[in-house]
Chain A
Amino acid sequence: MYDFKMPSMGADMTSATLVAWNVGLGDRVGKGDILCEIETEKGNIDVEVWEPGVVAELLVKPGQKVPVGEAIARLDEEGAPASGGNGAEAPVRRPSSKPPRTEVAKSPSAEPLPADLADSSSRESRPSVEIIPPPPRTPTATGAASPAARRRAAELGVDLSTVKGSGPGGVIKLADLEGSAEDDEEAPAPASAREEAPAPASTSEADPHQALRNAIARAMARSKREIPHYYLQTTVDVTRAQQWLEQENEERGIKERLLFGGLLTRAVALAARDVPVMNGFFEDGRFTPSEAVHVGFAVAMRGGGVVAPAIHDVDSRSLDETMAAGKDIVRRVRRGKLRSSEMSDPTITLTSLGDMGVDTVFGVIYPPQVAIVGAGSPRKAPLFHDGMIATRTVVDLTLSGDHRVSDGMAGSEFLRAIAQYLAHPEQLR
């Protein structure tokens, strides 16, 4: 028997609220199965199981806020007697991954693969991709509600139009609902658990937007405190990459169309494989490179804030698969739910301003990662090309690196590798 603890979804998370159990007592669960849904400052997340087992005990109730690291369920290991009465308790597993991991859960994709990629002859060895459809959206006259809040409202019989939302833009959050439910049968946490919870800082608890900002601040302050950052910048000619994209997209339907961000994600992943000191985790005083490349893709959230969930195994995916996974993740950040593996295991982060930003962005490394690549908005600029000054499309690429692990030489090699891949976009397919 082992305790399944509230997982950490990153350096900035201290606690989360259980929304619902997806399993019942006696259920057999396998690796990657969804144990429960939690509400965090970064939205709702499906928590996955990392070890197969049988659910023996559920220790918290929906609506209860639980600190990271506190047991939320007990699971019997598969094959072990269900009673677990011999007292031989297995050491606690941390669901958040420890690098290096070569075998990882696949990111779900709401997009069907294009026909040529779904072709069994080329892809039959790939694990199946689990699809989580985004929750149905129920537009209300008064404004939006989080999926968890909608479900809870249905359970409680609360009319959402009577609830005042405290989220960004008046979005109704789970907490708003708990306050409005007059007859809340699901009692809050037992007193002991509540006492253990950190005392809420009044401002952050009352304002979800501020709570998110505080969470980001915790992670970034830790990063700046612990990581000796160094910064590099280079301007990359992406004219060829843009032309290649335009040609590709001419023949593609709207759903298969490629974005520059997809090329960039692939280029970063392949370069990270070439320069392994950029890809992995610095923990307990040492760096462990990761064999897998999971690119954390920074996504702006509605109402402010940013989250960088992982697109898994980008180095071994095709460009189309990377695009589909990226689109799916952006959609789920903004409208649905992320999975715990996506939140906990990026091995490197990419922050791309897309076409709505400014020229240059220097990222702050997200611990325990050791590098973050920044990409500014593509722009036209005069550049020497074939011995003449020409108007070219350029992107400023930056690297924030961790001096405990690498230095400017390796960083330069890494940025040059990204530029090389972008110069040969057909290699990124």
Chain B
Amino acid sequence: MSTRDQVLEILLDVVPDIEPESMSPDTNFREAFNVDSMDFVDILERVATELGVEVPERDYPQVVTLAGLASYVDARKAG
């Protein structure tokens, strides 16, 4: 399973309102689906637990899209 699929699975699990068909990889999912700070933290906790990458607060703006979050995880894993 690609990182993007794994990330999408987490997103859908935490926020069932997200409609994958109406979300492009570059959609800001926080704005598009009203993902509040509590849900966002939940998503990042799941990413940390399941994918082994912790996102520091200063990098939050980079991970508000599916593509951004997936490539962030890939880059951290590679680095």
Q: Give 29 A-B contacts (CB < 8 Å), ordered by A residue.
A: A139-B12, A143-B16, A169-B16, A169-B17, A246-B57, A249-B57, A250-B56, A250-B57, A253-B48, A254-B41, A254-B48, A254-B54, A255-B45, A257-B41, A257-B57, A259-B37, A259-B38, A260-B37, A261-B37, A326-B38, A327-B41, A331-B38, A334-B39, A354-B38, A355-B37, A356-B30, A356-B34, A356-B35, A356-B36
- How many residues of chain B are within 8 Å of chain A by beta carbon? 21
Q: A208-241: contact bitstring with B at CB < 8 Å (1 yes, 0 no)? A: 0000000000000000000000000000000000
B5 beta carbon closer than 8 Å to chain A: no
Q: B1-39: contact bitstring with A at CB < 8 Å (1 yes, 0 no)? A: 000000000001100110000000000001100111111
Complex formed: what's the CA distance from A260 to B57 in Å?
13
| Residues 330-380 of A at the B interface (beta carbon under 8 Å) | 330-331, 334, 354-356
Closest Cβ neighbor of B16 among chain A residues: A144
Minimum Cβ distance to chain B for residue A339 (Å): 19
Complex formed: what's the CA distance from A144 to B57 in Å?
31
- Interface contact B48-A327, CB-CB below 8 Å: no
B74 beta carbon closer than 8 Å to chain A: no
Q: B42-66: contact bitstring with A at CB < 8 Å (1 yes, 0 no)? A: 1011001000001111000000000
A306 beta carbon closer than 8 Å to chain B: no
Closest Cβ neighbor of A137 among chain B residues: B13
Complex formed: what's the CA distance from A302 to B36 in Å?
11
Q: Dominant SS at the B interface? A: helix
A261-B37, A327-B38, A356-B36 given; A302·B45 CB < 8 A: no
A303 beta carbon closer than 8 Å to chain B: yes
Interfacial residues, chain A to chain B (CB-CB below 8 A): 137, 139, 143-144, 169, 246, 249-250, 253-255, 257, 259-261, 300, 302-303, 326-327, 330-331, 334, 354-356
Closest Cβ neighbor of A259 among chain B residues: B37
* 8 further contact pairs, Cβ within 8 A, besides A249-B56, A257-B57: A139-B13, A169-B16, A254-B41, A259-B37, A261-B38, A300-B36, A327-B38, A355-B36
Minimum Cβ distance to chain A for residue B14 (Å): 9
- Interface contact A331-B42, CB-CB below 8 Å: yes
A254 in complex: contacting residue of B13, B31, B37, B45, CB < 8 Å: B45
- List B contacts of A300 (CB < 8 A): 34, 36
- List B contacts of A137 (CB < 8 A): 13
Complex formed: what's the CA distance from A303 to B33 in Å?
11
Complex formed: what's the CA distance from A190 to B15 in Å?
40
Complex formed: what's the CA distance from A257 to B54 in Å?
11
- Interface contact B48-A354, CB-CB below 8 Å: no
A327-B38, A354-B37, A356-B34 given; A302·B44 CB < 8 A: no
- Interface contact B45-A303, CB-CB below 8 Å: no
- List B contacts of A260 (CB < 8 A): 37
- List B contacts of A255 (CB < 8 A): 45, 48
Top 5 A-B pairs ranked by shortest CB distance? A330-B38, A254-B48, A354-B36, A249-B57, A254-B54
Closest Cβ neighbor of B35 among chain A residues: A356
Complex formed: what's the CA distance from A334 to B39 in Å?
10
Complex formed: what's the CA distance from A144 to B17 in Å?
10
Complex formed: what's the CA distance from A326 to B38 in Å?
9
Closest Cβ neighbor of A357 among chain B residues: B36
- List B contacts of A261 (CB < 8 A): 37-38
Complex formed: what's the CA distance from A246 to B57 in Å?
8
Complex formed: what's the CA distance from A303 to B13 in Å?
15
- Interface contact B16-A253, CB-CB below 8 Å: no
- List A contacts of B37 (CB < 8 A): 259-261, 354-356
Closest Cβ neighbor of A111 among chain B residues: B45
- List B contacts of A169 (CB < 8 A): 16-17
- Interface contact B44-A254, CB-CB below 8 Å: yes
Complex formed: what's the CA distance from A330 to B36 in Å?
11
Complex formed: what's the CA distance from A137 to B14 in Å?
10
- Interface contact B16-A302, CB-CB below 8 Å: yes
Minimum Cβ distance to chain B for residue A380 (Å): 15
